[in-house]
Amino acid sequence: MTATLMTRRTFLTATAATGGVLSVFGRARAAHAGVVSPPGLFDCHVHITQPWYGSPNSVVTVRHLLGWMDAHGIAQAAVLPLVSPEAFWYPVTTEFVLRETRPHRDRLTPFCAVDPRTLGTHLPTTKDVVDVLSRYRDAGARGFGEHKPRLPIDDPLCMRLYEACNELELPVLFHLDNQANMDSPGLPGLARVLAAFPKLPFIGHGKGWWASIAGNTTQADLHVGYPRGPVAAGGAIDRLMDAFPNLYGDLSSSGAHAVLRDPAFGREFMVRRAERLLFGTDYYDTSQTDFPHFDLFSRFELPNETVEVISCGNARRILGVAGGS
């Protein structure tokens, strides 16, 4: 059977097969044409912020975030805290994320985070870690992350943290490059993590993760945000996804570039790995305007079923979240 393709024309008015997924230009054109389509995207990676650094106008409040989501056809989003010193200019705590998202849980799904170095000082036992994370889970957290400490991804402290996430069934969204969750070319440390916790979903994000879509990477390549040129065969992402069904990819930030740098490979990769990819943007500042992520589905003219699972289905399934109204 020939798969139905999501062309630019059909993408603008698609509703049933994709849950009403529309890009920003599609929503504008559809509205102009009198077509009413509910938003359907689930953004797996956004942040809310506070006025502790930079321009006060750059703060992403919940109110601003919801308006931005409406403008871009995003029905729901996962809101990630940032607690490690390497993660952000100041801590965006789990408690803040849980409190601010509480009135909007139909649209905003909170994550939780603990810096693993805390396990070496204040949370010395697995029971201690589980106790903290279970309180976050009971308060509404559906995942763990953004996990972004300046430690090897398979550091013993991180492994203890993953053990607690595994017990509580909290999927882990991690950032990987040469300054956070460090690993070597080929990602052998990540492979050890995935083998140790085969039932725990791990969602990859960051420069080093997406550089690993290509083969022949060097250590320096793991900190290049936007590599150029064709994707060399033998990438660690494909190899690890073949070996570990609990590994997923977050298309936010450099993820869109990773599939757009080599369009022929990118389209084939998105179709082949549709069940493992999650739409995301990594929105955290009001000055951000360049989001090629919204055009991925129409640019590649993907099959409708591919669009549906990447745009929202995978995130809702992994996080156990019902579709938005």
pTM score = 0.89
Q: What is the pLDDT of residue 5?
A: 56
Q: What digits encode the pLDDT tens for the residues 90-139?
A: 999 999 999 999 999 999 999 999 999 999 999 999 999 999 999 999 99
Q: What is the pLDDT of residue 323?
A: 86
Query: Does residue 77 form part of some domain?
Result: yes
Task: Going from the first residue of the chain to its last (325 residues), give the mean pLDDT of each consecutive group of 10, the final group possibly shorter.
Answer: 45 40 37 37 97 92 97 97 96 98 98 98 96 98 98 98 98 98 98 98 98 96 90 97 98 96 96 98 95 92 94 97 79
Cα–Cα distance measured from residue 81 to residue 321, given in angstroms and rounded to the nearest whole number: 18
Query: Does residue 325 form part of some domain?
Result: no
Give the domain CATH number at 298.
3.20.20.140
- Phi/psi for 82 (5° steps) reads -140, 100
Query: Does residue 25 form part of some domain?
Result: no
With contact defined as beta carbons under 8 Å apart, do 314 and 276 qualify? Answer: yes
Query: Does residue 84 form part of some domain?
Result: yes
Q: Is 275 left (phi over 0), alpha (psi -120 to 50) or beta?
A: alpha
- The three-state secondary structure class of 76 is strand
Angle at 204 between CA 226 and CA 318, to 5 degrees: 140
With contact defined as beta carbons under 8 Å apart, do 151 and 181 qualify? Answer: yes
With contact defined as beta carbons under 8 Å apart, do 26 and 12 qualify? Answer: yes
- R_g of the chain computed on alpha carbons: 19
Location of structure tokens 């109110």: 63
Q: Are strands 172-175 and 202-205 parallel, antiparallel or unpaired?
A: parallel
Query: Does residue 6 form part of some domain?
Result: no
Q: How many domains does the chain have?
A: 1
Peptide bond into 268 cis (omega under 30): no
Query: Does residue 123 form part of some domain?
Result: yes
Query: Does residue 10 form part of some domain?
Result: no
- As a whole-number percent, the residues of the chain with pLDDT over 90 amount to 83
Q: What is the pLDDT of residue 226?
A: 86
The domain in which residue 122 lies consists of: 37-319
- Phi/psi for 42 (5° steps) reads -115, 110
Query: Does residue 252 form part of some domain?
Result: yes
Q: What is the pLDDT of residue 27?
A: 41
Query: 268: Cβ–Cβ under 8 A, 6 or more apart, which residues?
Result: none
Query: Which tokens belong to 186?
Result: 């080929």
